[in-house]
Amino acid sequence: MKKLVRFGVSLDHQLLDAFDQHIERRKYTNRSEALRDLIRDNLVGQEWDQNKETVGTITFVYDHHVRDLTGKLTHIQHDFQGHIMAGMHVHLDHDHCLEVLVVKGKGSEIRKVADALITVKGVKHGKLTMTTTGKGLS
């Protein structure tokens, strides 16, 4: 079993009140769980900044009536096939589609994939969500 360490933290009462409100909104059982999540989130962000092997999702919405857009998006995905692990395509309405791609690779490489897809004319909105492979996190 991993050894737990207790430590004290001094905070301004307004900051602590705001943190407690955050804990209540998110339904954490205690401050320790919330603090662990904040620390892990920061460490995951550092993995991307340090260009380590990691994972994420690219989500984007586009108008499939834009001329040759579907072909361009497919071509880009083929160019980066080593980084795209899986995808899901959803028809939102008569004009719009949503795609979610699961990507894996070094942070800089995955950013290139996301930028290439999100900046294509006809893509209305896109977002890269970064996470971790879980290696090295407790």
* 58 and 72 inside one domain: yes
* Count of structural domains, the chain: 2
* 102 and 82 inside one domain: yes
* 45 and 106 inside one domain: no
Containing structural domain, residue 38 = 13-49
* 83 and 22 inside one domain: no
Residue pLDDT, tens place only, 82-125: 999 999 999 999 999 999 999 999 988 999 999 999 999 999 99
* 61 and 109 inside one domain: yes
pTM, two decimal places: 0.77
* 36 and 67 inside one domain: no
Q: Which two tokens stand for residue 5?
A: 């360490």
Residues 6+ apart with CB under 8 A from 90: 97, 98, 99, 100
